[in-house]
Chains A and B, each alone.
Chain A
């Protein structure tokens, strides 16, 4: 079993770029796909990145995902920040059991 560790919170100004990390505790980050979900207050999660770096249709290209094997982590980068990006972000990957592993979530504040 492994854990995914995210920063509890990040903040940045509108128009800037922010990166949220997701570090895998054991095993290679590259061995299983990583998804990123955005959850606004009172709403269900929506996918902003799937399969490490794929962006669903309708998600702005300001959102990008990457994998770094040297730090064994995945990253979600949001450029040109907008106030509407303020939300909780969760990374998710796969294990044998539990099958889905979530990071603890990162609260993004755009101020």
Chain B
């Protein structure tokens, strides 16, 4: 079955960077876009961007342009999301989610990133 396993919680200081990983299994990693979505405490879901694991091509939400970088390592079926110049309002749970593409989307378990001085 499709499984997305994310890296553990992080605590960062303002201005620092964080890199979250998402290891995929149970399907062909290069066959589906991988999206990143975040959820601030008590808030809704916010799309950040996506990566094509096959080509490495990316699309980012305008809000995160210049601060977010999505990469992948096909040899280990893992996608990464790095967010730089962290602020306190970046405190959120970050999810990876496989693109639907004629089958239901699967989501990772989430990674809590806390930004605090």
Contacts and interface: CB of A to CB of B under 8 A. Distances in A.
Interface of A: 33, 35, 37, 44-47, 50-51, 54, 56, 90, 92, 97-105
Contact of A98 (B62, B95, B102, B106): B62
Contacts of A102: 37, 44-47
A101 B47 CA distance: 7
A54 B100 CA distance: 11
Contact of A51 (B100, B106, B107): B100
A60 to B, nearest CB: 14
Interface residues of B, number: 23
B56 to A, nearest CB: 17
Given A35-B100, A100-B37, A44 B110 contact: yes
A45 B102 contact: no
B107 A100 contact: no
B61 A90 contact: no
Contacts of A51: 100, 102
A93 to B, nearest CB: 11
Interface string B65-90: 00000000000000000000000000
A98 B100 contact: no
A99 B50 contact: yes
A46 B103 CA distance: 13
Interface string B28-64: 0000000101000000111101100000000101100
Nearest to B4: A44
Nearest to A96: B59
B26 interface: no
Given A33-B100, A35-B100, A97-B61, A47 B105 contact: yes
